[in-house]
C-alpha cells in the first residue's frame, strides 16, 4: 500500500478524500483489532466483523488440508464410469479445443481412467476408491462435493483459484476471510497459521505465499507460515545478548515511531504493523511452548 502524504493544501480535495476514505473498511476492522473492547466487551482479541454470527457456532477450529500434487480426485472420491470406459482412447477434441495446454500442445492425448475400482460405502452409498477402506468406514460422516469445476488446467492458476477464488493474484485467501469475518479466540497466537510439508522428492508443485496472503485486506489477516525445521517461526528468538525487557523496550520504541507516522499519514497499514509487532513479541513466549510436542501422547 502506498503511503498517503499529508498536505494541508489538499486536505479536503476530492483525490485526498477518496484516497483516505478508500481505506475506511480496513481502518474499521483495525480499530476493532486495536480496541477490541469497543466491539466485544472485555475481549482482548480480534472478534471478527460478523457479530453476531448467522448461526450458532459448532466448531472452534478449522484444519484445512490442501494437497498440491496429491492423489487425483478421479482416483479417490470422484468416480467417472465413462472415463473408465474410454481408458486408452483419444481424448475428445471438445475437452481441449481452445485450451492453453502448455507443454502438451500438439501431442497425442489419450484418456486415462482410474487404476483402482470404486466401492459404495455406508448407508449413503458414497462411491470411494477401494484403496481407502478406513475412510469408507466413516462415509456417512463425510460431505463430498462433486458439483464444483474449473476451466483451469494448469497447476499454478488452479492453486490460486482454489485458495483465493481467483486465478489472478491479489485476492484474500480463504483463511484470511475466515479470520477477518469470524475472528479468533487467542491473543497470543496468530488466528491463521500455515504448515507446509514435502515428500522425499521435495516440493514438486508450485506453492507460493499468495495462497495464504490477505490480498486487499489488512496484512494482519494473512497466514503466518510455521517452519517444519528449526525455529517454527523465523526470528522467534531474541538475538544473543538481548533480554526480554530490552526487546520489550525496542518494540515499544518502534511502535511509538509508527504511531507518529500514522498521525502524519493516516495510513491504516501503519496500525496493522503496530499490531504485528505486538503479536510477534507475544509469540516469542507462546510459540515455543505450542510447538513442543515432546510430552504429547
DSSP 137-178: TTGGG-----S---S--SHHHHHHHHHHSSSSTTSPPHHHHH
**Do 62 and 115 belong to one domain?**
no
For residue 83, the model assigns a pLDDT of 94
**Do 268 and 132 belong to one domain?**
no
**Do 207 and 276 belong to one domain?**
yes
For residue 164, the model assigns a pLDDT of 93
Residues 143, 166: Cα–Cα separation, whole Å: 24
**Do 59 and 191 belong to one domain?**
yes
**Residue 95 lies inside a defined structural domain of this protein:** yes
For residue 275, the model assigns a pLDDT of 79
Q: In the listed set 141, 164, 199, which residue is the last one of a domain according to the structure? A: 141
Q: In the listed set 141, 164, 195, which residue is the last one of a domain according to the structure? A: 141
**Do 123 and 256 belong to one domain?**
no
DSSP 221: G
For residue 30, the model assigns a pLDDT of 43
| Residue whose cell numbers read 526480554 | 244
**Do 87 and 221 belong to one domain?**
no
Query: Which of 105, 97, 101, 143 is CA-nearest to residue 124?
Result: 143
Contact 247, 239 (CB under 8 A): no
For residue 122, the model assigns a pLDDT of 95
**Do 55 and 107 belong to one domain?**
no
Contact 173, 163 (CB under 8 A): yes
For residue 43, the model assigns a pLDDT of 42
**Residue 250 lies inside a defined structural domain of this protein:** yes
**Residue 292 lies inside a defined structural domain of this protein:** no
Domain count within the chain: 2
Query: Which of 79, 86, 176, 180 is CA-nearest to residue 136?
Result: 79
**Do 157 and 260 belong to one domain?**
yes
Cell matching residue 105:
500442445
**Residue 297 lies inside a defined structural domain of this protein:** no
Question: Within a 10 A sphere around the Cβ of 155, how many other Cβ atoms?
Answer: 15
**Do 190 and 264 belong to one domain?**
yes
**Residue 241 lies inside a defined structural domain of this protein:** yes
**Residue 126 lies inside a defined structural domain of this protein:** yes
**Do 229 and 161 belong to one domain?**
yes
Q: Which domain holds residue 84?
A: 73-141
**Do 214 and 278 belong to one domain?**
yes
**Residue 2 lies inside a defined structural domain of this protein:** no
Full pLDDT tens readout for the chain, 297 residues: 455 455 554 444 444 444 444 444 344 444 444 444 333 333 467 888 888 888 888 888 888 888 887 788 999 999 999 999 999 999 888 887 777 676 666 778 899 999 999 999 999 999 999 999 999 999 999 999 999 888 787 788 888 999 999 998 899 999 999 999 988 887 778 888 888 876 666 665 667 888 899 999 988 898 888 877 777 777 777 788 888 888 888 888 888 888 888 888 888 778 778 877 777 777 777 776 666 666 666
For residue 88, the model assigns a pLDDT of 94
**Residue 230 lies inside a defined structural domain of this protein:** yes
DSSP 129: E
Relative orientation angle of helices 268-291 and 244-265, to the nearest 10 degrees: 160
Query: Which of 145, 239, 162 is CA-nearest to residue 205?
Result: 162
**What pTM value is reported for the model?**
0.67
**Do 104 and 27 belong to one domain?**
no
| Residue whose cell numbers read 489538499 | 10
| All residues at 6 or more sequence positions from 208 whose CB lies less than 8 Å from its CB, including other chains | 156, 159, 160
Amino acid at each position: 500500500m502506498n503511503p498517503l502524504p499529508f498536505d494541508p493544501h489538499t486536505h479536503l480535495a476530492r483525490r485526498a478524500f477518496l484516497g483516505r476514505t478508500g481505506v475506511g473498511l480496513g481502518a474499521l476492522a483495525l480499530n476493532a483489532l486495536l480496541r477490541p473492547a469497543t466491539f466485544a466487551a472485555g475481549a482482548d482479541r480480534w472478534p471478527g466483523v460478523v457479530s453476531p454470527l448467522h448461526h450458532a457456532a459448532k466448531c472452534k477450529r478449522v484444519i484445512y488440508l490442501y494437497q498440491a500434487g496429491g492423489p487425483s480426485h478421479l482416483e479417490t472420491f470422484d468416480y467417472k464410469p465413462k472415463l473408465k470406459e474410454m481408458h486408452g482412447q483419444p481424448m475428445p477434441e471438445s475437452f481441449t479445443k481452445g485450451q492453453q495446454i502448455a507443454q502438451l500442445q500438439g501431442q497425442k492425448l489419450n484418456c486415462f481412467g482410474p487404476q483402482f475400482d470404486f466401492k459404495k460405502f455406508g448407508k449413503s452409498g458414497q462411491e470411494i476408491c477401494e484403496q481407502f477402506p478406513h475412510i469408507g468406514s466413516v462415509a456417512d460422516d463425510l460431505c463430498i462435493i462433486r458439483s464444483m469445476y474449473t476451466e483451469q488446467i494448469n497447476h499454478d492458476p488452479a492453486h490460486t483459484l482454489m485458495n483465493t477464488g481467483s486465478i489472478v493474484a491479489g485476492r484474500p485467501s480463504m483463511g484470511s476471510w475466515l479470520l477477518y469475518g469470524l475472528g479468533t479466540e487467542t491473543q497470543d497466537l496468530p488466528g491463521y497459521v500455515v504448515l507446509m510439508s514435502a515428500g522425499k522428492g521435495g516440493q514438486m508443485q508450485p506453492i507460493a505465499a499468495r495462497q495464504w496472503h490477505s490480498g486487499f485486506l489488512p496484512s494482519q489477516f494473512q497466514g503466518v507460515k510455521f517452519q517444519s525445521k528449526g525455529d517454527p517461526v523465523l526470528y522467534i528468538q531474541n538475538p544473543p545478548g538481548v533480554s526480554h525487557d530490552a526487546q520489550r523496550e525496542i518494540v515499544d520504541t518502534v511502535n511509538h515511531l509508527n504511531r507518529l507516522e500514522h498521525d502524519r499519514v493516516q495510513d491504516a497499514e501503519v496500525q496493522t504493523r503496530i499490531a504485528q509487532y505486538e503479536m510477534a513479541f507475544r509469540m516469542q513466549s507462546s510459540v515455543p511452548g505450542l510447538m513442543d510436542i515432546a510430552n504429547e501422547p
